[in-house]
Amino acid sequence: MLVENPLTDTFARAFTYLRLSLTEKCNFSCSYCLPDGSECHSMNDDLTLIEIRRLVTAFALLGTQKIRLTGGEPSLRRDLCEIIKTCKGVTGINSVALTTNGFRLEKDVATWRTAGLDSFNVSIDSLRPEMFQLITGSGKLRSILAGLDQAQELGFNQLKINTVLLREQNARELDDFLAFIKTRKITLRFIELMRTGDNADFFSRQHLSGASIEQRLLSEGWAQKIRSINAGPAKEFIHPDYIGSIGLIMPYSKNFCSDCNRLRVSSKAELYLCLFAEQHQSLRHLLQCDDPEPVIHFLRAALLHKTAGHELAQLHTGSTRHLAMIGG
């Protein structure tokens, strides 16, 4: 679809990617995110299917091509297949992706595929069941890995694993992770732990810079892939002896925000201009009719206030208490 006047900000960045949270609720209790479990019990306030269609239609009219469904845990939504189908059916949307903790992967991945899901990222912080349980509070590792194998057989391209780097919990497992992707067409992305409103103490104990992994990869014959124009925030590394690849997401590195192409909407219909923004604005009232113009007007006006980057290095985490609020 040719968009005459796509959504840009005052730094000439174009926004073609929407990360849409479907619920804040989660059934895992990851040590870095919701160590005491989800405080969200009701899903009654979450965006409805009709509101999602209206929202995605307005974004697509402004040039959005890719939607990522996230959460909390998006697969807790009983209407997830309908949501995937609806997003995929909006003119201009050419990719629908999902970020999931994988607890329904083995059961549902085939139906997600049939509904039109193009790709997904699954969070796997350890390949050792005991450590996985310690980090996430879940005993589902084997089932998640079985779901991942199934997804490969179903022909999913661009399968990604997200692994949050944790100094004392999984940093010694690099060899296991490398062995895992040696024979699998998967990108395993190490994400540097981000400081959020709720995890300051945990962050100071567990944060590990991705630079140490980068050095090790380079010394062992891995090479950085040339970045494509639409590349995400990860630096990607490949090796001739490995089918899979490694990504490093280092939000504390210089220029991390310069290619930002994404906006976020929470499950309560709030627009976040940045993961670590101080403020967010609700646009729910604009989703009560089919006319996309008011939403388009709202988004163009809001984008004038998007800042050049986050201030994580100054310990400003904005109003984001944990990433389950908005989906990472």
> Applying CB under 6 A, does 33 fall inside the site for ligand SF4?
yes
- How much of the chain is in helix, strand and coil states, percent to nearest 5? 30, 15, 50
**Nearest 5 degrees, angle CA 72-CA 86-CA 229?**
75
> Considering CB distances under 5 to 8 angstroms, the limit depending on partner class, which of ligand SAM, ligand SF4, none binds residue 94?
none
65 binds, among ligand SAM, ligand SF4, none (CB under 5 to 8 A by kind): none
Q: What is the closest distance, in whole angstroms, from the C-beta atom of residue 312 to ligand SAM in the complex?
A: 10
Cβ within 8 Å of residue 266, ≥6 positions away: 21, 24, 272, 280, 325, 326, 327
Q: Is 162 in the site for ligand SF4 (CB under 6 A)?
A: no
109 binds ligand SAM (CB under 6 A): no
List the x/- string, 174-203, binding to ligand SAM by CB under 6 A: -----------------x-xx-x--x----
C-alpha distances out from residue 153 to 142, 211, 225, Å: 17, 34, 26
Regarding 312 and contact with ligand SF4 (CB under 6 A), the answer is no
Q: How far is the CB of 57 from ligand SF4 (least distance, A)?
A: 27
> Using an 8 Å Cβ cutoff, are 135 and 91 in contact?
no
Task: Identify which range of 35-43, 65-73, 127-135, 302-310 contacts ligand SAM by CB under 6 A.
Answer: 65-73
Residue 176 per-residue DSSP state: H
- In angstroms, the CA 193 to CA 252 distance is 10
> Do you know the residue count of the chain?
328
Find the helix or strand (DSSP H, E) in which 40 lies.
Answer: none
Residues of this chain that bind ligand SF4 (CB under 6 A): 26, 28-30, 33-34, 71-73, 101, 123, 136, 324
Q: Which residues would be at the binding site for ligand SAM (CB under 6 A)? A: 26, 32-33, 70-71, 73, 99-101, 123, 162, 164, 191, 193-194, 196, 199, 323-324, 327-328
